[in-house]
Chain A
Amino acid sequence: NAGVTQTPKFRVLKTGQSMTLLCAQDMNHEYMYWYRQDPGMGLRLIHYSVGEGTTAKGEVPDGYNVSRLKKQNFLLGLESAAPSQTSVYFCASSYSRAGELFFGEGSRLTVL
């Protein structure tokens, strides 16, 4: 039972490069989320999705795009990476609006 899987787990980028983080869940959850965690900042919501084909902005959406073409996958894209996007990114999913979130193990991204 994989739960929530994030790939890649580690990545180093140069400023201006692009990349995509993939989140996959096998629990048939409707809701999916992308958070970033920075020292002393807790977890901040970047974008989220309430179902296949839907996306919405969270607290810190600038510089990121997302897509939810399939229910089980939620992609986070960085079109032109900046050093300020150096962070640990967590994907999460939940079965309902009131349900608890299940998190992936995180993806550590460094932008030089």
Chain B
Amino acid sequence: DQQVKQNSPSLSVQEGRISILNCDYTNSMFDYFLWYKKYPAEGPTFLISISSIKDKNEDGRFTVFLNKSAKHLSLHIVPSQPGDSAVYFCAPKGGGSEKLVFGKGTKLTVNP
């Protein structure tokens, strides 16, 4: 039973355009949502997060939107750059748990 779903295994966009990566979750106890970025042969690195008390968090080219009623969050990257090509994982936590629950990831390819 997947608590976190990233339904698009892959996404391809042109350099300079917007990339939108989506994540759906089922556990209403989740109250903190993180996005991680992973390059091949490297460990995941933290990208951006959002608390359930907010509906938007922005950091430079990266913005995360949270829709609690729909149990949906999205990561927007604008403008997209070739260096953004990586696998992006949605990882929420909550309910007092120390554990992050990772989605299966979306592989983003930004074409020059």
User: Is A48 in contact with B44, judged by CB distance below 8 angstroms?
Assistant: no
B46 in complex: contacting residue of A33, A45, A100, A105, CB < 8 Å: A100
Which chain B residues (54-112) contact chain A, with CB distance < 8 Å? 89, 91, 93, 96-105
A74 at the interface (CB under 8 A from B): no
Which chain A residue shows the least CB distance to B9? Answer: A40
B32 in complex: contacting residue of A31, A58, A98, A105, CB < 8 Å: A98
Which chain B residue shows the least CB distance to A100? Answer: B46
Given A45-B99, A100-B49, answer yes or no on A105-B42 (Cβ-Cβ < 8 Å): yes
Determine the distance from Cα of A41 to Cα of B103 in the docked complex, in whole angstroms.
8
Residue numbers in B under 8 Å from A42 (CB-CB): 89, 102-105
User: Is B42 in contact with A106, judged by CB distance below 8 angstroms?
Assistant: yes
B41 at the interface (CB under 8 A from A): yes
A31 in complex: contacting residue of B98, B102, B104, CB < 8 Å: B98
- For B, the interface residue count at a CB cutoff of 8 angstroms equals 24
A50 in complex: contacting residue of B32, B91, B98, CB < 8 Å: B98
A43 at the interface (CB under 8 A from B): yes
B7 at the interface (CB under 8 A from A): no
Residue numbers in A under 8 Å from B89 (CB-CB): 42-43
Given A41-B104, A43-B89, answer yes or no on A48-B99 (Cβ-Cβ < 8 Å): yes
User: Is A101 in contact with B42, judged by CB distance below 8 angstroms?
Assistant: no
Determine the distance from Cα of A82 to Cα of B4 in the docked complex, in whole angstroms.
28
A40 in complex: contacting residue of B34, B98, B104, CB < 8 Å: B104
Which chain A residue shows the least CB distance to B51? Answer: A98
Residue numbers in B under 8 Å from A48 (CB-CB): 98-99
Which chain B residues (25-62) contact chain A, with CB distance < 8 Å? 32, 34, 36, 41-46, 49
Which chain A residues (22-50) contact chain B, with CB distance < 8 Å? 31, 33, 35, 40-45, 48, 50
CB of B34 to closest CB in A, whole Å: 6
Determine the distance from Cα of A79 to Cα of B32 in the docked complex, in whole angstroms.
35
User: Is A100 in contact with B34, judged by CB distance below 8 angstroms?
Assistant: yes
Determine the distance from Cα of A100 to Cα of B91 in the docked complex, in whole angstroms.
10
Interface residues of B (CB under 8 A from A): 9, 32, 34, 36, 41-46, 49, 89, 91, 93, 96-105
